[in-house]
A and B are shown apart, each in its own frame.
Chain A
């Protein structure tokens, strides 16, 4: 079983619709969760983070976390063509010793927002 799983897509949604991106993880010790957006040929950019069960909203983005089901999702409301990118889910286990925060990434879901 992969540590972090995402559907590679592409996920196609019409402009103005809600895009729903999903991610599951295997390690129950995971503490916090991140969504990154990566445009083609560019580096990943952090757009949302969440660590408590429930929803967290930031503008058009909502992250949802269910630790019991080991599931995290990202909703994008009023999707725009500029949202077309690959969305990476990342999971963090807080280090007790040694320092640093190790993020494990999924393969990413490609989102296409069509006019």
Chain B
């Protein structure tokens, strides 16, 4: 596999469920990110991991819990979500601290619906 792979592509969960989103990158990057994309709103940065250390947590509710076991894998653990958490969740990776022309490579996203 190449690029950034996210699973599952679609997820429907109840408010009392616990689920996890998975992201894997095969690009040799050393920074990984979780973004949330809701309708009519800009992409919202949730978490940044660089060299497996969490370097940013943008005031995200504790019902979202990230995990980065190594530089190739990133998880987002979900529990007791609310309907307003329904959105497209995007994982991205990049080279950390690289030159200014290094943008992100995004995964295909997980479309999450909370019922």
In the assembled complex, the CB of A30 is this many whole angstroms from the nearest CB of chain B, namely 10
Is A113 part of the binding interface, using a Cβ–Cβ cutoff of 8 Å?
no
Q: Is the interface of A mostly helix, strand, loop or mixed?
A: strand
CA distance A112 to B53 in the complex (A): 41
Q: Are B90 and A101 in contact (CB under 8 A)?
A: no
Stretch at the interface among B13-21, B35-43, B59-67, B78-86: B35-43
A-B contacts, CB under 8 A, total: 81
Q: Are B100 and A98 in contact (CB under 8 A)?
A: no
Q: Are B56 and A43 in contact (CB under 8 A)?
A: no
CA distance A51 to B104 in the complex (A): 15
Bin the interface of chain B by size: 20 to 34
Stretch at the interface among A11-19, A66-74, A75-83, A86-94: A86-94
**Which residues of chain A are within 8 angstroms of B97 by Cβ–Cβ distance?**
94-95, 99-101
Q: Are B31 and A99 in contact (CB under 8 A)?
A: yes
How many residues in A have their beta carbons less than 8 Å from beta carbons of B? Answer: 29
Q: Are B48 and A32 in contact (CB under 8 A)?
A: no
Q: Which of A31, A100, A107 contacts B94 (CB 8 A)?
A: A100
Q: Are A42 and B101 in contact (CB under 8 A)?
A: no
Residue of A nearest to B109 (CB): A43
Would you list 9 pairs from A and B whose C-beta atoms are within 8 A, ordered by A residue? A34-B103, A46-B103, A46-B105, A49-B101, A49-B103, A95-B55, A98-B55, A100-B49, A101-B97
